[in-house]
Structure 1
């Protein structure tokens, strides 16, 4: 099928894999293979920003995972969508661009990820970004020269969003001009990875230019079954593609960028992970590394829905004729309601003045909706809005584990929600913040009723029960192959190399030592850009990797 020996094989063409492919092929010297389980991202409802809801449960572009029944969420098996398409989750996410807060990355450094402090990573964010900001006449002006377009879309957002900002001011929260780069408390308009009315995913930013180079091969709709090794050195992958199975070789490194669910799954299927788990499923232990799959973190959010007395997006998108007119306007001009993601206003807030840093992230969307039996959002016809809040930095940790030795079997996802008092207290503070925001005059004056939870539910214990009944992931899983000090507390060193194995790195959100305060797409791409620099440095010297394999414990 392919006798080529590639310098680098990247598994996963998501946010991280696309950024790696661009950087590793840029000088034309390295032969790179990028392998993706999904297919093309050239789909109308991927490119249309409001199409996020359409692809939420679309099996053609989505792994469609479910976590195990979660005791803290009243035994619910929460839906975990993950991108299975070129661009990965950056092709199906809500497009909010948030770096995270300085304390997130300083925390990484303290946890053993040396060189990943805020001062170290901030320049990488700046190199990555190209901000498109409207001038006084509404014409976009560019700030920054990076490959990733981040757009200020406030001029096209629903007018109801101004209500959220007024209510936030009444709550005492300052308005932030550029929420995508905030380093402190503030509420404002979310910036989005959108360009000229179209989603601008990692595939658009990084992979599109890389695909013009002859030293990159992209293999889509290909399932990686396992990695191959020569002793303690990764040598390639076994892949199933177009009905055939083949071994493909990597002369320098194999890089897993399959995400926080699938990267640990693939390591375990390949014999790297907790020894007892591997033996239970009949997998030969190549390298016992107990932390593979452990340490899972995610944001758990609760949303309150309200009926409004003023028009919201429901008046357009929830009704047939206005929706058709909006669609026609979008096709002709790439503007209007379909050109703006649903997350419009939000930010980071402190739940009380005595907190030194923000502990909650909020989302304020000018739309209300339910869910169909098939998992698709269904918009209300009547005007409504949504307020949502999540704890920024939970400390509960779950686990990803293979279900069997079958590569096609979905892994076991133990979210382990609200496992600590810190997180349970954070859930209560999130409820208090939502009540406070909803009661602010600018919102209360245009609210008919609270739809969910019901208006009559006011007791804190009733509201906490509703939290357990309805709270859900906001799709930010991280830390299942985290960086750290050594194999007893982590999977990777601070250069993203797997402890004790040569020629193997993990570069995606699973490498985060801990969850960042906000949306994870931006820090994942930043991590990949910095990882590429490290990979090229180590490839140029040659000795670093050999020393890593020789000195690593185990």
Structure 2
């Protein structure tokens, strides 16, 4: 049986960071297990290729939630990366750290070492901000962050001017002094290619003799000696194998697969485990609970001016931008379609921004909620402006549906189960209408397609929100960090309460969801987790 000092499960955003940092000194042997395969894939490396990767059979777990009551019984599609780099290999690449108050709240919940002041050095350490370093930003890290202000679609200028007329201040850096305001997103690309966690952290580390990356190796259960984790059982090439960890097992399988693996291994709610015939190793009712996610919806418009639809829809347009990308790694295919952004308060009652904005110079009126065929937009000039909630109060849960490690778990996000979530999204819908009536936006809007100008009253708008909202793919919190072992799963050093030799280092440890896209804070958790593991190892 193979034996290593550390066994890391999951080569996603956090797992790649952990594997790199733990193997860097050469003192420890590290194994990294990944259920998916190589990230050397055209749809992974080309930035706009995430439209294909979102539904790819081998790159994506392609989860579906249970019917959601707040969505009128609709299911929610949950793409999760099943590839080296995890979801950082299939996401929209928007780099957002979150608000300082998010991390100060983590600390206030009883997690020392996780305030904004504590996590800022890790954020700076992980990034290579091409716009330069300052008191908030780093420039020497492995993750390349690109400013795209000079290459975004011309309609972004109308969006920015309209937002300022609607009362928002211009913000050139959502990761700087404040998150509030309207501006252009920064994205994780390098020389026109996606810069995933695999690109940034794993590629340079794979040359090390003390790091072994096992692809297409799906963990099926953890191995225990009493209350100590000693290794992992996994399936690879049709064979069941085991691997031992002399020091620790680190779970970095993500907000879905980490709690799933814990439950399959006998760590979770005893009633759930017994129902599926799994022996209880450790009772931990918090595993799979506290599920949080951002949801959002779009207002779609027919445009008076050309948009990306006019380039990406006709075959000759796709050929033209495709050749441009192949020859120069530039143009629309080198970007995300989420170009304009922003964070605002839906009412003066909020002390900080509670809503995120997205401006995309492209439209998909035929797409189901949460699904976008990025290379096949509408056959007319169109664009969208979207919103998503920063601090949802709805909480869901995740549970295995059987003892079969290859069966997808039951996911019930309970979206829109609180009145607070419904009301703030209603306020956001009213803001989008106000934004659309500004002078710069009237210049480019020919008509509102969705929800349509006939939808005006609050009840009609709420019905539209329930009908068309969807996940923006930011699940977290399912193995929450906290001091109370009765509700939390890990402590402030990411050790699983009540067990030895086992940590969780990924987005599942978030006690509260952060404001905005989750890849950057997940990378930070990887940096912090690796630092803690090395410190505790002496």
Q: TM-score, normalised by structure 2?
A: 0.97
Residue 36 of structure 1: aligned partner: 34
Distance 1:279 1:320 in 2: 56
Question: Cα distance, 1:293 vs. partner?
Answer: 0.4
Corresponding residue SS for 1:263? helix
Q: Structure 1 stretches of 5 or more lacking a match?
A: 135-141, 541-554
Residue 9 of structure 1: aligned partner: 7
Residue 302 of structure 2: aligned partner: 307
Question: Cα distance, 1:143 vs. partner?
Answer: 6.2
Distance change in 2, residues 1:367/1:148 (3 Å): same
Distance 2:291 2:323 in 1: 43
Deviations 1:17-39 (A, max 9, x none): 00001100000011000000001
Residue 264 of structure 1: aligned partner: 259
Q: Counterparts of 1:295-444 in structure 2 under 5 Å? A: 295-371=290-366, 377=373, 378-444=376-442
Distance 1:371 1:311 in 2: 19
Q: Counterparts of 1:192-271 in structure 2 under 5 Å? A: 192-271=187-266
Residue 80 of structure 1: aligned partner: 78
The 8 Å contact of residues 346 and 424 in structure 2, kept in 1 or not, is answered as no
Distance 2:105 2:291 in 1: 16
Task: Tell me, yes or no, if structure 1 residue 467 matches structure 2 residue 465.
Answer: yes
Distance 1:77 1:146 in 2: 39
Greater displacement, 371-380 / 212-221:
371-380
Q: Counterparts of 1:143-162 in structure 2 under 5 Å? A: 144-162=139-157
Residue 511 of structure 2: aligned partner: 513
Question: Cα distance, 1:133 vs. partner?
Answer: 3.1
Corresponding residue SS for 2:241? strand
Distance 1:72 1:467 in 2: 10
The list of structure 1 runs, each at least 4 consecutive aligned residues, that deviate by more than 6 angstroms after superposition, is none
Distance 1:473 1:143 in 2: 30
* 86, 106, 109: which one aligns with 1:108: 106
Corresponding residue SS for 2:515? coil
Q: TM-score, normalised by structure 1?
A: 0.94
Distance 1:394 1:113 in 2: 21
The 8 Å contact of residues 123 and 138 in structure 2, kept in 1 or not, is answered as no
The 8 Å contact of residues 126 and 138 in structure 2, kept in 1 or not, is answered as no
Question: Cα distance, 1:478 vs. partner?
Answer: 0.5
Distance 2:4 2:435 in 1: 54
Question: Cα distance, 1:375 vs. partner?
Answer: 5.3
Distance 1:259 1:429 in 2: 32
Distance 1:143 1:419 in 2: 39
* 46, 49, 52: which one aligns with 2:50: 52
Greater displacement, 107-116 / 515-524:
107-116
* 503, 527, 535: which one aligns with 1:529: 527
Question: Cα distance, 1:485 vs. partner?
Answer: 1.2
Deviations 1:419-448 (A, max 9, x none): 222212222122122112222221122111
Residue 167 of structure 1: aligned partner: 162
Task: Tell me, yes or no, if structure 1 residue 70 matches structure 2 residue 68.
Answer: yes
Distance 2:419 2:464 in 1: 18
Distance 1:474 1:43 in 2: 23
Deviations 1:319-367 (A, max 9, x none): 2111111110110011111111111011111123443211111111111
Deviations 1:249-292 (A, max 9, x none): 00000010000011000000000000000000000000001100
Residue 488 of structure 1: aligned partner: 486
Corresponding residue SS for 1:532? helix
Task: Tell me, yes or no, if structure 1 residue 456 matches structure 2 residue 454.
Answer: yes
Distance change in 2, residues 1:182/1:519 (3 Å): farther
Residue 547 of structure 1: aligned partner: none
Distance 2:196 2:379 in 1: 31
Corresponding residue SS for 1:116? coil
Distance 2:265 2:461 in 1: 45
Task: Tell me, yes or no, if structure 1 residue 500 matches structure 2 residue 498.
Answer: yes
Task: Tell me, yes or no, if structure 1 residue 177 matches structure 2 residue 172.
Answer: yes
Distance 1:492 1:266 in 2: 15
In the alignment of these two chains, the number of paired residues is 531
Residue 132 of structure 1: aligned partner: 130
Distance change in 2, residues 1:192/1:39 (3 Å): same
Distance 1:165 1:143 in 2: 26
Deviations 1:458-505 (A, max 9, x none): 222111101111100000000000100121120000000000000000
